[in-house]
Amino acid sequence: MMDKIRLASTKPAAVEVDLSDMCLIVANNIVSRSALGRVYGDESGDKSFVELSTTALDLSSHFCFQDMLPFLGWMDHLTGLVGKLESTFRALHNFLDQVIEQHQNANKEDNSEAKDIVDILLRLQKDGVLDIDLTRDGVAF
């Protein structure tokens, strides 16, 4: 991030620097590296996680009739909100399934210590040391 700001400041013409966009990219890189084990972002060439998380965040800020006025929940179907939510979260679920499969395949080859949250959760699921059952669809008590 600092290199991009430095590069923009050395150009002779006035260059607009979008710090909010840069901070969003840095936050995404930190979260994806610590939770998923690698950076999924614009610079890595894999925009699916960035696009999916941005779309999910955007959809969560939309007005939802079901939440505010449950008897008008049918309006969410008319506005298309339900369809957008279902398709976005289905795509996000598929993406995370791929991440889990990649980690499981990597763990078969590499028996080193857990490196990220997915590795830790997979190890807890495998060892069964918790009082809860970790599944891909949720946590069962």
> 51 vs 73, which has greater pLDDT?
73
In which domain, by residue range, is 105 found?
Answer: 2-136
Residue 141 lies in a domain: no
Please choose, from the candidates 49, 45, 33, 43, the residue with its C-alpha nearest in 3D space to the C-alpha of residue 118. 33
Give the count of beta carbons closer than 10 Å to the beta carbon of residue 38.
Answer: 14
Q: What's residue 72's pLDDT?
A: 94
Residue 17 lies in a domain: yes
Residue 43 lies in a domain: yes
CA 79 – CA 72 distance, rounded (Å): 12
Residue 70 lies in a domain: yes
Residue 81 lies in a domain: yes
Confidence of residue 124 (pLDDT cuts 50, 70, 90): confident
Q: Which residues contact 104 (CB under 8 A, 6 or more apart)?
A: 122
Condensed to tens digits (0 to 9), the pLDDT of residues 70-122 reads: 999 999 999 999 999 999 989 988 888 888 888 888 876 666 666 788 888 88
Q: What's residue 96's pLDDT?
A: 87
Residue 26 lies in a domain: yes
Residue 76 lies in a domain: yes
Q: Are 134 and 121 in contact (CB under 8 A)?
A: yes
Rounded to 5 degrees, φ, ψ at 7 are -65, -40
Count: domains in the chain: 1
SS3 at position 15: coil
Kindly state the percentage of the chain with pLDDT values over 70: 86
Q: pTM above 0.75?
A: no
